[in-house]
Structure 1
């Protein structure tokens, strides 16, 4: 019985030693007698004890590397402090193990170097305006290298671009001046539109009055009344003004003034009508 028990225990030990459970989202790399053999997928796997060895188990899920603030010189010779986050994922676990010694360290150094090179090709203003474009450029350059490492760079997010205090102050002053310029342009445009509307309204009113005088002679009395009413209102406003001057007008000539205004309006309309018929 003892030999049987020993055999059973040996088989149990062999089974326990050969069974490898890989969790979901991970992958493992097996070497046989020191050479690359196969990759273990999530679930229950079996290897040959003493012959096979699991040399690496890593996640295939998305990971990130926090790139610490870096001092970068822009194209216009301004020092900037830039920090970013790199998101990446292992696509080929064999390459990630055999093609590079320190994968995360290499990714950190590569991302830092590429970030500096791309920002150095831009001015301070361009780094703020074209941040999304810089991210895409950096991502493309990184993936062209990391593909040989079995790694995919998912995205690189530039978190902060911090210029020196003097540069920040200058940029704020430039933005304030730009906002003020836009406000003045908008105000001038509004005044121009208002003046145009007012002129169009005045022209329309004169055309209506002239047409009424031409087609209905009795409307002259109405016009005379309106002109007199405007004259009285203007006199009131002039009297209420703090720097108003008293102007004396001969009451006997007021009617003549009204007639001249009416006659001039009628003649103007008449001349315009004659020109149209001609």
Structure 2
């Protein structure tokens, strides 16, 4: 075999191997370009010749090599906008500075990437406008006391505004409502005045209650005294009635007998005293005592 024939055999063998190698390399490249593994926290937006072709979810996905490409890798995790502060004026013309925070996540990447360029800036601008508008409808006291309701209103309005961008607002927070120093001083004076007014009202109510209780006590005492007098009067009336009944039953002599008995008992009490004393009695008293002794003697 000549040298020329040897060279021809070598070229034929090498040429066949090169084709196989190139074919194998092409297949490997197609597999690498056609298989896309999407992480759980992302979604891939696929374009074909510059147009939207599909949105790939988490897991293994297949695309057409050399025709399809991954145009956008979108994170579907919840995001937080940087805290933003904006001025607002309430309906009672009070200037307040409101600090807000918004949380959101992308639910439809194909709408987000093709309808809005800067998502964070767009949401921040929308929130600022809605906050100013809603606070402008409320007085300062309402803003302070109805913060939860205000947050719900802001969240609902922001959701409605960004719905066309494929975004879900998960939470909106009204972190702080700050006032200028002059307004704070005026509110402090008003608060102190209100506290003093409440203290005065409390003291007045206490004094009123004390007077009412004292009046109730006096009324109760008067009622008890009147009741005691009534009972005493009833007792005296009963005694009088008893004497009258006795007189009617036994005649006047029975009554005179009882009087004479009391007079004698009184005289005995005076006579049995320890001290030496002189008792002066009227003449008619002596006559009465004499009559009493006679009546007692007659009774005996």
Offset at residue 41 of structure 1 (A): 0.9
Report the equivalent of 1:157: 173
Choose the corresponding residue for 1:72, options 88, 92, 104: 88
Tell me how many residue pairs correspond in the alignment. 220
CA distance in 2, matches of 1:70, 1:27: 34
Report the equivalent of 1:48: 64
- Structure 1 residues 25, 198: CA separation in 2 closer, same or farther (over 3 Å shift)? farther
Decide whether the 8 Å contact of 2:95 with 2:180 is kept in 1.
yes
Report the equivalent of 1:145: 161
Decide whether the 8 Å contact of 2:45 with 2:56 is kept in 1.
yes
Report the equivalent of 2:247: none
Q: Are 2:117 and 1:105 aligned?
A: no
CA distance in 2, matches of 1:89, 1:191: 62
Structure 2: runs of 5 or more not aligned: 1-15, 236-300
- Structure 1 residues 25, 196: CA separation in 2 closer, same or farther (over 3 Å shift)? farther
Q: Are 2:192 and 1:176 aligned?
A: yes
CA distance in 1, matches of 2:158, 2:174: 14
CA distance in 1, matches of 2:222, 2:192: 45
CA distance in 1, matches of 2:161, 2:88: 22
Report the equivalent of 2:142: 126
| CA shift digits 1:192-249 (9 cap, x unpaired) | 22332332233223323433443367x9xxxxxxxxxxxxxxxxxxxxxxxxxxxxxx
| CA shift digits 1:14-68 (9 cap, x unpaired) | 2222222222232221112211111111122222222111112222232121242
| CA shift digits 1:69-124 (9 cap, x unpaired) | 22333334443222210122222221111121222211111111222222233343
Decide whether the 8 Å contact of 1:70 with 1:82 is kept in 2.
yes
Decide whether the 8 Å contact of 1:67 with 1:108 is kept in 2.
no
TM-score normalized by structure 2? 0.65
CA distance in 2, matches of 1:46, 1:119: 51
CA distance in 2, matches of 1:67, 1:139: 15
CA distance in 1, matches of 2:232, 2:41: 94
Decide whether the 8 Å contact of 2:45 with 2:72 is kept in 1.
yes
Q: Are 2:107 and 1:91 aligned?
A: yes
Structure 1: runs of 5 or more not aligned: 220-278
Runs of 4+ in 1 over 6 A off after TM superposition: none
Report the equivalent of 1:211: 227
